[in-house]
């Protein structure tokens, strides 16, 4: 028998009428904001399925924009996210994709450009009750939910990288809850996602970057 949390029944603390179309959407964009390191200058949202059909009426557009501005699901500023984005000089656009149907009904692609010129593509799915999962990073299939703090390591798939990542965590007494490797192919680009118990120290990124096969490290603090 599966366990049901009181939060699954009552739903999350949120701004907006729908846990799937507002809270879930906001959570996806909020995770993408953390992955990009904040300071977003330009963002493009591509909406699929029911997101594409009802995004304006359910406030999905405001929720996505609020999340990418760094607002959590219960932040009242989400209501004014359009104006806040304009005041901050953040360029944004929404694209409706009704041709691609082989996706989860509450799916969004987020294309981000930061003030530093970094580009990041994230696909997320709102899976109900305000929960979400990230299923692609820069076109590579992955899976994580954002329920734990995570180190997302962009690397070349070579021997020794996983050991190096695990050692960097162990040296800082960080307990690993889950660790998964996702890759394009043997010796090609890969993503190691390490979900941990507790917060991640800022020097962890620098330590992991010491390996020559590591391209980038994104720390997602929960």
Please state, in angstroms and rounded to a whole number, the distance separating the CA atoms of residues 141 and 171: 29
Instruction: Point out the domain boundary residue: 144, 176, 210.
Output: 144
Q: Are residues 163 and 135 in the same domain?
A: no
Tell me which residue range forms the domain holding 107.
Answer: 11-144
Q: Are residues 18 and 104 in the same domain?
A: yes
Q: Are residues 153 and 72 in the same domain?
A: no
Please state, in angstroms and rounded to a whole number, the distance separating the CA atoms of residues 123 and 143: 10
List the chain pLDDT tens, one digit each, 222 residues. 444 333 333 344 444 444 444 888 999 999 999 999 988 999 999 999 988 887 776 689 999 999 999 998 888 899 999 999 999 999 999 999 988 888 998 999 999 999 999 999 999 999 887 889 999 999 999 999 999 999 999 999 999 999 999 999 999 999 999 999 999 888 899 999 999 998 999 899 999 999 999 999 999 998
The answer for 187, left when phi > 0, alpha when psi is -120 to 50, beta otherwise, is: left
Instruction: Point out the domain boundary residue: 110, 128, 144.
Output: 144
Class of residue 193 by CB neighbours under 10 A (exposed 0-12, middle 13-18, buried 19+) = buried
Contacts of 194 (CB under 8 A, 6+ apart): 150, 151, 152, 153, 165, 169, 176, 178, 179
Q: Are residues 126 and 28 in the same domain?
A: yes
Q: Are residues 138 and 167 in the same domain?
A: no
Q: Are residues 43 and 84 in the same domain?
A: yes
In a domain, 6, yes or no: no
Report the number of distinct structural domains present in the chain. Answer: 2
Quote the pLDDT of residue 57. Answer: 62
Lookup: tokens for 178: 């889950």
Instruction: Point out the domain boundary residue: 96, 123, 144.
Output: 144
Place of tokens 């082989």: 102
Find out whether 35 and 85 touch, Cβ atoms under 8 Å: no
Quote the pLDDT of residue 201. Answer: 94
Q: Are residues 94 and 188 in the same domain?
A: no
Find out whether 41 and 115 touch, Cβ atoms under 8 Å: yes
Find out whether 137 and 155 touch, Cβ atoms under 8 Å: no
């Amino acid at each position: 028998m599966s366990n049901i949390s009181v939060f699954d029944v009552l739903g999350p603390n949120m701004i907006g009428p729908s846990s799937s179309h507002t809270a879930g959407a906001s959570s996806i964009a909020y995770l993408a904001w953390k992955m990009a390191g904040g300071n977003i200058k330009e963002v493009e949202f591509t909406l699929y399925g029911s997101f594409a059909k009802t995004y304006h009426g359910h406030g999905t557009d405001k929720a996505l924009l609020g999340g990418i501005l760094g607002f959590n699901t219960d932040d009242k500023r989400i209501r004014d996210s359009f104006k806040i984005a304009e005041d901050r000089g953040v360029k944004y656009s929404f694209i409706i994709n009704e041709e691609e149907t082989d996706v989860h009904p509450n799916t969004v692609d987020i294309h981000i450009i930061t003030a530093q010129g970094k580009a990041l593509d994230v696909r997320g799915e709102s899976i109900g009750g305000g929960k979400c999962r990230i299923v692609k990073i820069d076109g590579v299939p992955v899976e994580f939910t954002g329920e734990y703090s995570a180190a997302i390591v962009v690397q070349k798939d070579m021997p020794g990288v996983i050991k190096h990542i695990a050692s960097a965590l162990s040296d800082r007494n960080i307990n690993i809850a889950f660790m998964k490797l996702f890759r394009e192919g043997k010796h090609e680009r890969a993503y190691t996602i390490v979900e941990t118990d507790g917060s991640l120290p800022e020097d962890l990124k620098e330590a992991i970057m010491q390996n020559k096969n590591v391209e980038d490290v994104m720390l997602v603090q929960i």
